[in-house]
Structure 1
Amino acid sequence: MKTFIDLKNTPVFDAHCFAYDDGSLTEDMLTSQYAMIGPSPSYMSEKERETRVAELALTTGALNKRINDLAKYLGCEPNLTALVTEREKRRNDNFPEYVKGLIDDISLKGMGVDTALFSLEDADNFGKTFPGFIKKTFRLTTLVKDLLNNSTSFENLISDYDDAMTDAVKNHGCIAFKSIIAYRTGLDIKTVSESEAEASFNNRKNEPTWYGYKAKALRDFLIRRSLVNCIKLDATFMIHTGLGDSDIVAMECRPLMLWDLLTQDELMECNVMLIHGGFPFTEEATYMSNVLPNVYFDLSAGTGPAFLEKAVSPERFTDVLRSVPNSKVIYSSDGGEGGPETLWHDCVTAKSAAGYALGSLVDEGIYSETKAKAIGEDIFYNNSKRLFKF
């Protein structure tokens, strides 16, 4: 009989997630989270695209699992219409009470909130409504876009960049900084001199893109500077690794592309979290988390909910726990933007996957059940507590 380590009541700190709001949820909104066509093809109208997305989503195991899991929690029929109807009833009756029920069910104590496109003050206001505590992660990529648009000189940009990082920690209590450069110019980050970075800034308007100015050399320069600043500020540097939404630089998102950067002696002191554990390039991230002393492995799925069952699976978790020092494995959901249910469902799925993965290691004689339970508690809470010092 296979051993299962029950982590149902294990406390949770969700190390990388987003603020949710009290907005409504429709069937179209839910299905759209589970299918990605990618760039909108010109042969499809918007209505045709929405219809196709819904058709595809309803045939994914991930959406069907979410419908079944959430319907069981809500006590309604396991179909999309009944689920959305019951969810909206509870939202309208008492949204804070509904959220608290979800949060308590997974023992979620705290959230590491990525500011994304919002301000630190917005994150603080969200924290006042969350039935637990929050810690803030400052999105560097948003800062870079603003500075590229508004800075009048390279010197001013660098000064404002450093000041913003310092202010985020010293005056706003941020615990981490996050880069999504994998969505901009990719993870093939070069060593760039100050003069090369300045030239990149001066020529930035020659390379407009959908996300702003490309300025790859300058962006690479700022990544290295971010690591240096994180060491000075005693903050963690989070970076998206692996595939993601369809606008990812898919050919340059592998974790090992960061090797030359993260093995520079003057940068190795920085605590670095590989967001999404490089999925689907998991082995690269497990290797780096094993051999580099301050590189941490994040368990979340970054490729959209449709891939949740593969990325957050007993099989993947078992492989990770065989390879990575368990003290460096960090739980997060990457959820919240699709509503509080995403935080809940990702955690339910992850606790189940971890329970089976740890049970498998018990059956192999690697750990006792007591030790396996303690490892689960570390993954979901204690490792974050030590890393982020809360």
Structure 2
Amino acid sequence: MSDQGAIPDATEALPVVRTGESVAELAFQMPLIDHHCHGVQTGTATDAEVELLATESDWPAPPGTSVFDNPFGITVRSLCAPLLDLPRHCTAEEYLQRRGELGGTEVSTRLLASSGTERYLLDTGFRASTITTPHEMATLTGSATDEIVRLERLAESIAPGCTAAGFASAFDDALEAAAANAVGVKSIIAYRYGLDFDPARPEPAQVTAAAGRWLTRIEAGSPGRLADPVLLRHLLWRAVELRKPIQLHVGYGDPDIVLHRCDPSHLTRFAHATRTTGAQLMLLHCYPYIRQAGILAQLFPHVWLDTSCAVSHTGPSSETLVRESLEIAPMHKLLYASDAFGLPELYACGSWLWRRAVGLVLDEWLADNLIGAADARRYVKMLGRDNAVRAYGLE
């Protein structure tokens, strides 16, 4: 590939494999299912908005610096610049200027097309008014798009009309309606409390009392943000009863988190408690706890994991993360995801970096005769799309 107009061909730098087709070539050719993402920002983002969307921080970079010198920003200037008719490794100023000239729709169209994604599963519960809906995403990309319902946002949306005694029933009705056309749900209990929660299902009286405390605070003028551990557990257990995949934030995220409380090993007792329910636990991001997540995925038949946004945000070093995810987890428990929010660059870079890493690792195993060629090709397809089809029942 040339330096302009297309993402560079990663296979040029990969080791030669002497047995059949390179896995890296297959990794870059196959369509992906992005099982966890959020949609792109509508309209044309300002330079300041791009800078904020390019990091998990809530605060701008210090004066005189730019997030385009972060690992993700460096990757954007390498991989996405050619797609916007710029030379690789252009400056941040050049990139932002060209982005503004093209406009949000054109930038999104080009970058999303480069990701090679055939299906998107969108979490619609975060800043939904600023990003594309599932229908808008499908129209923009031409790819099938499904919804993931965020439990906490759903509860917050019904709170103003609820009484303490009626909260549980009202949430049940709202969840049934929202989940009817969704392929899964998501909990951010890691953000709102931590993964070290009591794994037991709360008693009805506990739920009513907790709802009363929460609704009283809302009536007194407090924000409606749901952080009560009893209510968070109640939402999670109601989701278990749906017997649909439950996405759980793990590890790396914005400044809301207390990182050590987002270690997935805290979920061990909850995994035991839900093992025979039919629900699937989808561990998202997992950095820096990828090995802990991999152990849970090996031990429990209903636990899965991805490396999603950590791949984009580690940029040139992302192969290390993907390699860790392949250390102990069964191949049938790993999924691809970008966790992209707002910036189409997150889709483009997440896809390219993940494809590169999987291709490098599996081709290395193949070259060392540690894996057969047929298995290598089968595994890369499982990781990129087939596992998501099975987990979410997409066919």
Q: 2:297–2:329: 8 Å Cα contact kept in structure 1?
A: yes
Residue 91 of structure 1 aligns to which amino acid in structure 2? G
Aligned pair count?
A: 365
Q: 1:27–1:81: 8 Å Cα contact kept in structure 2?
A: no
Using structure 2 for the length normalisation, give the TM-score.
0.83
Aligned-partner Cα distance in 2 for 1:224–1:36: 29
Among residues 3, 7, 17, which one is paired with 2:37 in the alignment? 17
Please report how far the alpha carbon of residue 362 of structure 1 lies from its aligned counterpart in structure 2 after TM superposition.
Answer: 1.9
Please name the residue that 1:350 is paired with. Answer: 354
Aligned-partner Cα distance in 1 for 2:379–2:189: 32
Please report how far the alpha carbon of residue 85 of structure 1 lies from its aligned counterpart in structure 2 after TM superposition.
Answer: 2.8
Distance 1:102 1:373, change over 3 A: farther
**Cα root mean square deviation, aligned:** 2.8
Please report how far the alpha carbon of residue 244 of structure 1 lies from its aligned counterpart in structure 2 after TM superposition.
Answer: 0.6
Q: 1:115–1:136: 8 Å Cα contact kept in structure 2?
A: yes
Residue 14 of structure 1 aligns to which amino acid in structure 2? D
Moved more, 29-38 or 289-298: 29-38
Moved more, 157-166 or 202-211: 202-211
Please name the residue that 1:90 is paired with. Answer: 102
Residue 29 of structure 1 aligns to which amino acid in structure 2? E
Aligned-partner Cα distance in 1 for 2:164–2:362: 53
Please report how far the alpha carbon of residue 18 of structure 1 lies from its aligned counterpart in structure 2 after TM superposition.
Answer: 1.2
Q: 2:151–2:235: 8 Å Cα contact kept in structure 1?
A: no
Among residues 150, 158, 169, which one is paired with 2:168 in the alignment? 158
Please name the residue that 1:112 is paired with. Answer: 121
Please name the residue that 1:282 is paired with. Answer: 290
Please name the residue that 1:337 is paired with. Answer: 342
Q: 2:34–2:120: 8 Å Cα contact kept in structure 1?
A: yes
Aligned positions of 1:47-58 closer than 5 A: 50=60, 52=62, 55=65, 57-58=67-68
Please name the residue that 1:43 is paired with. Answer: none
Among residues 50, 71, 78, which one is paired with 1:61 in the alignment? 71
Q: 1:12–1:109: 8 Å Cα contact kept in structure 2?
A: yes
Aligned-partner Cα distance in 2 for 1:128–1:288: 37
Q: 1:197–1:218: 8 Å Cα contact kept in structure 2?
A: yes
Aligned positions of 1:190-339 closer than 5 A: 190=198, 191=200, 192-204=202-214, 212-228=225-241, 230-231=242-243, 235-264=244-273, 267-276=276-285, 278-301=286-309, 306-310=313-317, 313-338=318-343
Structure 1 vs Structure 2: percent identity of aligned residues?
Answer: 19
Please name the residue that 1:143 is paired with. Answer: 154
Aligned-partner Cα distance in 2 for 1:61–1:126: 27
Distance 1:203 1:168, change over 3 A: closer
Distance 1:37 1:169, change over 3 A: closer
Using structure 1 for the length normalisation, give the TM-score.
0.84
Q: 1:28–1:54: 8 Å Cα contact kept in structure 2?
A: no
Distance 1:389 1:265, change over 3 A: closer
Please report how far the alpha carbon of residue 373 of structure 1 lies from its aligned counterpart in structure 2 after TM superposition.
Answer: 2.7
Please report how far the alpha carbon of residue 260 of structure 1 lies from its aligned counterpart in structure 2 after TM superposition.
Answer: 1.1
Aligned-partner Cα distance in 1 for 2:34–2:172: 27
Q: 1:35–1:53: 8 Å Cα contact kept in structure 2?
A: no
Aligned-partner Cα distance in 1 for 2:95–2:307: 28
Aligned-partner Cα distance in 2 for 1:270–1:223: 11
Is the counterpart of residue 387 in structure 1 residue 391 in structure 2? yes
Please report how far the alpha carbon of residue 34 of structure 1 lies from its aligned counterpart in structure 2 after TM superposition.
Answer: 4.3
Q: 2:152–2:235: 8 Å Cα contact kept in structure 1?
A: no
Distance 1:142 1:84, change over 3 A: same
Please report how far the alpha carbon of residue 237 of structure 1 lies from its aligned counterpart in structure 2 after TM superposition.
Answer: 0.8
Q: Deviations over 1:199-226 (max 9, x none)?
A: 2222225767766253221222221222
Q: Deviations over 1:256-304 (max 9, x none)?
A: 111111211565421110111x21111110011111101111220259x
Q: 1:242–1:302: 8 Å Cα contact kept in structure 2?
A: no
Q: Deviations over 1:2-22 (max 9, x none)?
A: 656222111011111112134
Could you tell me which runs of 5 or more consecutive residues in structure 1 were left unpaired when the two chains were aligned.
41-49
Among residues 81, 87, 94, which one is paired with 2:93 in the alignment? 81
Aligned-partner Cα distance in 1 for 2:152–2:315: 25
Could you tell me which runs of 5 or more consecutive residues in structure 2 were left unpaired when the two chains were aligned.
1-14, 18-22
